[in-house]
Amino acid sequence: MLPRLALTAGEPAGIGPELLVRLAATPLAANFVAIADRDLLQRAAARCSVKLDLIDDDGGQIDTRAPGSMRVRHIPLAVEEIPGRPDPHNARHVLATLTEAAEGCRGRRYAAVVTAPLQKSSINDAGIPFSGHTEFFAAQSHADVVMMLASPELRVALATTHLPLINVSAAITPASLERTLRIVHDELRAKFGFAEPRIAVLGLNPHAGENGHLGREEIDTIIPVLEKLRAQGMRLSGPLPADTAFVPAQRQHYDAVLAMYHDQALPVLKSEAFDRTVNLTLGLPFIRTSVDHGTALDLAGSGKADPSSLIAAAHMALDLVARRAMSSSQGHS
Ligand SMILES: NC(=O)C1=CN([C@@H]2O[C@H](COP(=O)(O)OP(=O)(O)OC[C@H]3O[C@@H](n4cnc5c(N)ncnc54)[C@H](O)[C@@H]3O)[C@@H](O)[C@H]2O)C=CC1
Ligand SMILES: NCC(=O)COP(=O)(O)O
């Protein structure tokens, strides 16, 4: 039977609905279940000139899927979308799709969820505190999580996610850093198959603090945590200066990088592999992958958005589902 992959369309006025339609058009061996408004998907298909065969989801299993066909679990929009112009009236619709996906994954109705991008500001404009899928799924699952972006060549995890820069230093505590490193370490083993993962940890300050002359977070927080975890057997390097940590000579020494904040490392990935990078959430009780880009409101409705990152996210979700099945058949948790 094909794995049932939940797909959320994200912001209705963004490129997400078009990307789902493009994904459905591929021959990928998965039972795609879009959690979205069915008319929204049909309008997106028309804008892309793609023929979409939408079938109401009955929760059943299938063993083949024709390219262009997709199941749908209909969750109605509050107002019809205008491409490029997010409407906060649809914020609760967007959150309802995420809730259904998370509950369905926890209840094993879906093998994994793949999310298309949403417009965080539109949800905030509806008066709802929200900073991202990562934090939303973590709160719903009562889980400690870590955001990771992965291309075929580079994996980057983040010690902090969607935080104003002014709050970053205070958010990196010995306890939070240790928790993050343990999740990254365990998930590199479980999800990527590294028996003894090598993790490079970046400093927070220029030159990793220059021995305390350019900031003390390395000396006061990062180094003590690294020493503690190294003594327990983890293979950790750093704190490394972020500006040179990604040069080719350094990369051969690690399997993943832990960056201290969002924009410290994501520009590296996005500039070299925008179409091949996948965002995944480590630490959740279910598999969640996503695109590496946003809602691209400038392209919405044009049919020109590149679906490569969403297709890569679906491939990664399927690989992780297969790895999980193999691991549980061997008796691992
Ligand atoms: N997973 C998610 O839900 C994410 C959501 N966002 C949200 O997206 C919104 C817009 O973010 P921006 O910073 O403007 O980034 P963006 O990624 O939406 O756009 C940046 C540039 O990349 C282009 N681009 C993005 N995706 C593309 C694709 N698939 N094909 C071709 N070109 C593409 C856009 O046209 C634009 O020129 C924000 O609200 C942000 O929070 C951003 C990243 C991830
Ligand atoms: N830059 C990554 C990003 O903003 C995605 O966040 P999330 O919605 O996956 O938490």
* 3-state percent helix, strand, coil for the chain, nearest multiple of 5: 40, 15, 40
Residues 173-224: pLDDT tens digits?
A: 999 999 999 999 999 999 999 999 999 999 999 999 999 999 999 999 999 9
Do 155 and 41 lie in a common domain?
Answer: no
Do 81 and 35 lie in a common domain?
Answer: yes
Do 211 and 134 lie in a common domain?
Answer: no
Give the annotated binding-site residues for substrate: 133-134, 270, 279, 288
Q: How confident is the model at residue 330 (pLDDT cuts 50, 70, 90)?
A: confident
Do 292 and 306 lie in a common domain?
Answer: yes
Do 47 and 110 lie in a common domain?
Answer: yes
pLDDT over 60 (residue 333): no
Q: How confident is the model at residue 332 (pLDDT cuts 50, 70, 90)?
A: low
Give the annotated binding-site residues for a divalent metal cation: 162, 207, 262
Do 316 and 248 lie in a common domain?
Answer: no
pLDDT over 90 (residue 141): yes
Residues 54-74: pLDDT tens digits?
A: 999 999 999 999 999 999 999
Please give the tally of structural domains in the chain.
Answer: 2
Here the CATH number for the domain that contains residue 244 is: 3.40.718.10
Closest by CA to 282, choosing from 153, 182, 176, 174, is 182
Residues 4-53: pLDDT tens digits?
A: 999 999 999 999 999 999 999 999 999 999 999 999 999 999 999 999 99
Task: Decide whether any atom of ligand 2 lies within 6 Å of the 38 Cβ.
Answer: no
ipTM of the complex: 0.98
The domain boundary, picked from 243, 261, 281, lies at: 281
Do 115 and 204 lie in a common domain?
Answer: no
The domain boundary, picked from 281, 307, 323, lies at: 281
CA distance 272 to 280: 18
User: Does 241 sit behind a cis peptide bond, omega within 30 degrees of 0 on the bond before it?
Assistant: no
| Among the bound ligands, the one closest to the CA of 136 | 2
Nearest CA to ligand 1 atom 29: 306
Ligand 2 centroid, distance to 170 Cα (angstroms): 21
Radius of gyration of the chain (CA): 20
Do 15 and 135 lie in a common domain?
Answer: yes
Task: Please count the CA atoms within 13 angstroms of the CA of 101 that sit on its side-chain side.
Answer: 32
Q: Which residues pair with 70 in a beta bridge?
A: 54
Q: How confident is the model at residue 331 (pLDDT cuts 50, 70, 90)?
A: confident
Task: Decide whether any atom of ligand 1 lies within 6 Å of the 84 Cβ.
Answer: no
Owning domain of residue 206:
146-281
Determine which helix (DSSP H) or strand (DSSP E) holds 105, and give its type and residue range.
Answer: helix 91-106
Do 182 and 84 lie in a common domain?
Answer: no
Do 82 and 165 lie in a common domain?
Answer: no
For residues 122-131, b (16+ Cβ closer than 10 Å) or e, as one string? bbeebeeebe
Task: Please count the CA atoms within 13 angstroms of the CA of 89 that sit on its side-chain side.
Answer: 9
Are residues 230 and 175 in contact, defined by beta-carbon separation less than 8 angstroms? Answer: no
Do 190 and 156 lie in a common domain?
Answer: yes
pLDDT over 80 (residue 86): yes
Do 79 and 181 lie in a common domain?
Answer: no
- Residue 95 tokens, joined: 């959150």
